[in-house]
Structure 1
């Protein structure tokens, strides 16, 4: 049986990956901010048609950038969702914003599951977080993206998106470490394959895409000692300033809150 999934947005290429896996993808492009639809998806206009095309429980994938558009889209589709439906949020939003959205959906027994694609090409994993029942409904979608053994049940709602930000900070560390390793290799006065040795020692990761600064703020709030992460993130920022490059900055909708205040 072909899995049918509703899709809003295509910020991280989740739709394209699901299409390659053979998913029957129904996409909305007439929502707030007109998020683009994945090429190859079936375009559906209007809430009634969109939800009637999906079998219950409906799986709605959000592939949006963090920020207010996530709330605007949820506000639009919320009246059409029914108890037992699941929203699969791939936005990589600030985890506090994700917890707030999770709580709102939970009031009507709608599952809000946060997911994050992390790791290097060829060994990527999908983290899935939320209520156990919602995670079970999300697993068939996650397993379309990576083999089942690489799907990780991350824990409580918010933990997948929290880990996504940590992954950005790790990318900063890896970038700085690769720079130091390159200097050490180039300092050796012998013929060598610098690029090949570098890849063997530390495979290149995708660069940080704007979430790493959130980690510094969380470290202070959560009283976690992260000198290595902090130094790498600040060195990245210093390099951007020196090169007159505008740093990529993703939006947090709300400030830090203690989870007990939200839940």
Structure 2
């Protein structure tokens, strides 16, 4: 049996349609994954662009992956990186970081699609207050392979006897799977695991998981069957314990979130280098 099937909460963030899956009332986390937004696809024009103003994070890792579009990442430790479809951006907030995410100026005059994923990973207790860091991985460096006719891109973690080079702080899994109608796949053995249907429909233990739903699997649910051609996202890893989450902050200690709110309100966070003029105020 599936433990849960999560349906997305529809959000609009800066006029962008967003499916939010985590956290939810039924399931706060899947392994270390504590936040899951699927944004777009949305067509943008000269008068409509992605501009996420500078904002802070603590005690977490942001994971950004695009299907369409381009985003320029800047942060308070001096990182400057354009992410394109198939690449991965990993930002380690640690003891505190500020960043912005904006479309490049040179593409804004043209019609274009924006479509992608933003996840947050909670850091294990011993890593929550590490120095902030940023890592970028080009799509050429992320393993792609085939298992039982399923096309798999292993973005984070180790599975199916393959390993991704992406930095991790605990057992963490993230994979993209393309599987054709009628085919099945055995999933990796993880302490906690969930599968999101980007497109299509799958069956797990005779239960359907439809498009834009996130199935949370139990230990007995290790096989999926594609009832249509499907694009899927697999996330999972080890349970690292309870986390508090408020606004852009995640921590194992509620008092640490209170401190971060006070620090942001008083503008004690370092500013984004090269993007100092604006910021998102504390709600």
TM-score (ref. length: structure 2): 0.24
Q: Whose radius of gyration is greater, 1 or 2?
A: 1
Quick check: which one's strand share is greater?
2
Quick check: which one's helix share is greater?
1
Higher relative contact order (CA 8 A, sep 6+): 2
TM-score (ref. length: structure 1): 0.25
